[in-house]
Chain A
Amino acid sequence: MDPRIEVSGRTAAFHGKFAARDLREVTAALERIPFGDVTLDLSQCTSMDSAIAARVWSFYGNRKSRGRKVRFVGVSPDLDAVFDRFEEIDKIPPPFGSRKTLKYHFADIGDRVAESWDTVSGLFTFTALAFKALVSGKFRGSMTAYYMEQTGVMALPIVVTLNWLMGVVLGYQAGYQMSQFGAELFMPALLAYSICWEIGPMMTAVLVAGRSGSAFAAEIGTMKVRQEIDALQVMGFNLYGYVVTPKLIALFLVMPLLVTVANFAGMAGGLAAGGMFLDMPATVYLNEARKALIPFDLYWGIIKSVFYSAIIAVTGSYMGMRVRGGPAAVGKATTSAVVVSIFLVILVDALLSLVFVHLRPGLTL
């Protein structure tokens, strides 16, 4: 026979054997009981599983908290023991933070600030140790070559494609706006400056941070989870020398090349845009671009790329090294590696821009 609950006035009588599948009916029956003091008659209840018992107990707690009495009748010893356990559990104070009080929010802000400070100070220490290993450690040729292939050769198609597209977009938009004033002849110069000074190095850094910074964090994080880092450490390896330095050297070598290629790809995009949308002959575009650029503009992108390489390699490795626990922490580390790398790249770019205006010949504010 199916279990049922008869509600009469403020009394609910339970009949039969209740299980989790009856939860909806039990909830509906309890909700039908008018507000006030209530009697729950369980004398005809053969059994009740944990889910139903918990729902009945929460009904009891709810009414009690609103100043009403709930009287149980005919509770079996087994069920009584279950309710006693629930009562004991209710007395356990909730852990700090389970209720989002004002105090919790202040503590949370404090924790986050302390955590951010730990991250920043840890990153500085890590950077110092990584560079110490770079200067004093062994050169690992095959590992460096492997990372050069991974971060450089493999990144080439995406770097070329995206920078070419950026060149097309910039060339078209700048050319269109300038043509309104008959100044489209200045488009190649504008494009040359923006690509060599900013877009080329920045786009490349963002792409490398996304591809390689995250890969570094995931690789090292996985090594941490699999105790490979511990194993290297107890074998007496200099972790910075073995794990970080080959990545750092590889990026130092490939980033300037990638930025140079990116600059050419961006300019080629502008050339295509000029030809397609402004009917600008290639010779005119190239002449105007060449007139605008000086060698310093090309070197500047390379100088910036050295800073970006250090940021991406060190941040990715650092985030990987911070992994604690299981695979989920590796996912968080890769995200942090990309976000922090891009943030730092933009921050350093802003700082370098301040230097740039003083260093570039022929540029006055």
Chain B
Amino acid sequence: MKDAIITVEDLTGGYEDQIVLRGVSMEVMRGEVLVIVGKSGCGKSTIMRYLIGLLKPLSGRVLFEGDDLWGEPETLLRARRRWGVLFQSGALLGNLTVLENVMLPLREFTELTRPEMTDIAMSKLEMVGMIHAAYEKPMEISGGMQKRAALARAMALDPDVLFFDEPSAGLDPVTSAGLDQTILSVNRSLGTTLIVVTHELDSIFTISDRVVMLDPDEKGIIATGSARELSETSQDSRVSDFFGRRTGV
């Protein structure tokens, strides 16, 4: 049986005076593709910010391999070096080329020589089909290409966990489907645990092993299971309404 790589215990959090998540508990199993779904404003991106340690819980804990991210000061830093994050905008540094962006974590956290770093960065770019744009600046390539380059950067240190915040946002269906396949291949070939925040039904069905659904009124999880289970057997109208948007399933 797979063990949990990330555990969320009774997490409550939000912004200023607004509680977005209340008493959320969940586990992410090693090697799985977990997709977090829900309506706009349900706290999908917020929970991800807690998982990656950008926000400190008001109460509750987020554990990475059993260690509280906010326990010892070094835990968060150690954990961050073992995961990669693909932000909604790609978040490539605009003053660096695509290759330099991918090399950035290697330069910061390894003692590799420049040719070695270039080899690794180029191989990651090849994995996402972006080797041809290695010397372009982010503003010179399309949104989909930026996301693939950002994925290569997220994979630079061979992370154990990859987080994706709305990877399909702003992409056309064909590019989005291509990105889904890239994401899947990363999981299948490297065994990386993937946590994906999205509301794109096609992506959910294509990539997910397990789905966690959040609801803005409950401020927490209302359903967990495979996409097929949730879409076909859930008695909860909020779940069936969400998945009911998909035709031909």
Contacts and interface: CB of A to CB of B under 8 A. Distances in A.
Interface of A: 222-223, 226-228, 230-237, 242
Contacts of A222: 94
A234 B94 contact: no
A97 to B, nearest CB: 15
* Residue picked from A228, A233, A236, most chain B C-beta under 10 Å: A236
Contact of A227 (B53, B84, B89): B89
Contact of B94 (A226, A235, A236, A242): A226
B87 A227 contact: yes
Contacts of A230: 54, 85, 87, 91
A227 B80 contact: no
B60 interface: no
B89 A226 contact: yes
Given A226-B94, A230-B54, A236 B109 contact: yes
A40 B230 CA distance: 56
Contacts of B104: 235
B50 interface: no
Interface in B107-142: 108-109
Contacts, number: 48
Contacts of A237: 108
A314 B197 CA distance: 35
B101 to A, nearest CB: 9
A234 B89 contact: no
A228 B91 contact: yes
Q: Sorted from nearest, which 5 A-B pairs have the closest CB atoms? A: A231-B91, A236-B80, A227-B91, A227-B87, A234-B85
Interface of B: 52-54, 77, 80-81, 83-85, 87-89, 91-94, 104-105, 108-109, 150, 163
A222 B163 CA distance: 23
A235 B89 contact: no
B69 to A, nearest CB: 12
Contact of A234 (B52, B92, B93, B109): B52
Given A231-B150, A235-B84, 10 more contacts: A223-B93, A227-B87, A228-B92, A228-B94, A230-B87, A234-B80, A234-B83, A234-B85, A235-B80, A236-B109
A231 B108 contact: no
A223 B91 CA distance: 8
Given A226-B94, A228-B92, A230-B54, A236 B77 contact: yes
A235 B105 contact: yes
A364 to B, nearest CB: 53
Contacts of A235: 80, 84-85, 104-105, 108
A217 to B, nearest CB: 16
A231 B164 CA distance: 12
A226 B81 contact: no
Contacts of B81: 236
Nearest to A138: B108
Contacts of B88: 227
Contacts of B85: 230-231, 234-235
Contacts of B80: 233-236
Nearest to A226: B89
Nearest to A233: B54
B231 to A, nearest CB: 31
15 contacts: A223-B94, A226-B94, A230-B54, A231-B93, A232-B93, A233-B54, A233-B80, A234-B83, A234-B163, A235-B84, A235-B85, A235-B105, A235-B108, A236-B108, A237-B108
Contacts of B150: 231
Contacts of B77: 236
Nearest to B82: A236
A235 B94 CA distance: 16
A234 B105 contact: no
Contacts of A234: 52-54, 80, 83, 85, 163
A242 B95 CA distance: 14
A226 B91 contact: yes
A234 B87 CA distance: 10
B88 to A, nearest CB: 7
Contacts of A223: 93-94
A242 B105 CA distance: 12
A230 B81 CA distance: 14
Contacts of B108: 235-237, 242
A242 B91 CA distance: 16
A231 B52 CA distance: 10
Contacts of B89: 226-227
A25 to B, nearest CB: 42
A277 B89 CA distance: 61
B211 to A, nearest CB: 23
A75 B63 CA distance: 63
A234 B91 CA distance: 11
Contacts of A231: 85, 87, 91-93, 150
A68 to B, nearest CB: 42
B53 to A, nearest CB: 7
A96 to B, nearest CB: 13
A179 B233 CA distance: 98
Contacts of A232: 93
A223 B89 CA distance: 11
A228 B54 contact: no
Contacts of A226: 89, 91, 94
A72 B125 CA distance: 71
A234 B52 CA distance: 7
A269 to B, nearest CB: 37
A227 B138 CA distance: 14
